[in-house]
Amino acid sequence: MAYTTIDNPELFFQTKLYSGTGSSQSVTLDGDENMQPDWVWGKGRTLSGYNHGIVDSVRGVSKLIYSNLTDAEDTYSTGITSLNTDGFTTGSGNVFNNGSNTYVAWNWKAGTSFTNDASSTSVGTIDSTGSVNTDAGFSIISYTGNGNSNQTVAHGLGSTVDMVIVKDRDRAGEHWVIYHKSLGKDKYILFNTDAAGSSSDYFGTSTPNSTVFGLKTGNTSNNWSGDKFIAYCFASKKGYSKVGSYLGNANANGTFVYCGFRPAWVMIKRDGSGENWTIRDNKRDGIGNVVATKALKPNTNDADGTGDGSEFNMDLLSNGFKLRAASGHSNSSGQTNIFMAFAESPFVNSKGVPNNAR
């Protein structure tokens, strides 16, 4: 079996930096390959006070949610107005296109329509629809809650789901709820705050598997009766993506985390409360190995590289990443940190050719 089936990660994930203009503009991705995104996550970098904006092809580009807020879904006609064959078009709205701000947009490809009628297929107990990419291990799943306990939803990945990020679209005040394989079904972690904890009230009595993820208690953040939900689901793919965990060592010669690829994007969260999420990528900082010195935090509206614990070095290496500061956010001694990462290039391609560090 080949080391990886994805020699060019740009077909499935790309980061784009651009400047706001205050008027409609077409944003073209930088990769050598065209990629029409199905999930766009954008953030203003220069100015504080700008929320993380998330749109996708399943809900429609005018439907906006914010990773750092508990707001219900917004109809935002001046945000992203279309998803194009190699990028997207923005309107004049401040979330994606303020004329005094610079932006980063993280873009993922799904692309294959998905429908599951649970009563007909006997897969899950709640119907689901969406867009799936089984090669890249990514799906965008829409479902309607029924308020009953111990429900399951098909995710369409065809392999074990490692991370599920769920948001109630209809009800204000509901948290983003996250399942991560390193925490297990009886723990939860929130996206819009720095909170985490132990609870069996979210993800069901069975561990999420190759067909479904669970919803346990009725009328909670991921299963209010009659509410519409969106779930972003991820399965690790060798040489392209990795969902996992590591222990910090509180040392500038920090923990090395093997991914099996040179990372393009890394998101980290300590598994307890009190520490922010952080995202680093290979576009916002410098060249060479130590490129990820600034972080954006999904649970805040801070600007790039501002706020407590937002700046420290991380080496992006040919086969993983290495922490380079004794940060509580990502490298406290003996503390477990969860992560999700996507590749710039595989450590070894399908022809057996290794890559190099930056």
pLDDT in tens, 128-162: 999 999 999 999 999 999 999 999 999 999 999 99
Handedness of CA 189, 191, 195, 201 (dihedral sign): negative
pLDDT in tens, 243-256: 999 999 988 888 99
Contact yes or no for 239/346 (Cβ under 8 A): yes
Please tell me the least confidently modeled range out of 26-40, 104-118, 182-196: 182-196
Q: Taking all residues of the chain, what is their mean pLDDT, rounded to a whole number?
A: 92
CA 156 vs CA 59, 84, 114, 260, 314: distances in Å: 17, 24, 7, 24, 34
pLDDT band of 166, cuts 50, 70, 90: very high
Residues ≥6 apart with Cβ < 8 Å to 99: 20, 21, 22, 23
pLDDT in tens, 246-298: 999 988 888 999 999 999 999 999 988 888 999 999 998 755 555 566 789 99
Contact yes or no for 163/179 (Cβ under 8 A): yes
pLDDT in tens, 48-89: 999 999 999 999 999 999 999 999 999 999 999 999 999 999
pLDDT band of 308, cuts 50, 70, 90: low
Q: What is the pLDDT of residue 1?
A: 46
Please tell me the least confidently modeled range out of 5-9, 304-308, 320-324: 304-308
Q: What are phi and psi of 118, to 5 degrees?
A: -60, -35
Gyration radius of the chain over CA positions? 19
Residues in the chain: 358
CA 53 vs CA 17, 56, 90, 99, 301: distances in Å: 15, 10, 12, 16, 10
Residues ≥6 apart with Cβ < 8 Å to 358: 262, 282, 287, 288, 289, 291, 316
Q: What is the pLDDT of residue 108?
A: 98
Which of 34-43, 193-202, 250-259 has the highest average model confidence (pLDDT)? 34-43
Helix (H) or strand (E) holding 214: strand 212-215
Helix (H, G, I), strand (E, B) or coil at 215: strand
Q: What is the pLDDT of residue 312?
A: 63
Contact yes or no for 324/312 (Cβ under 8 A): yes
Is the per-residue pLDDT at 309 higher than 60?
Answer: no
Contact yes or no for 275/194 (Cβ under 8 A): yes
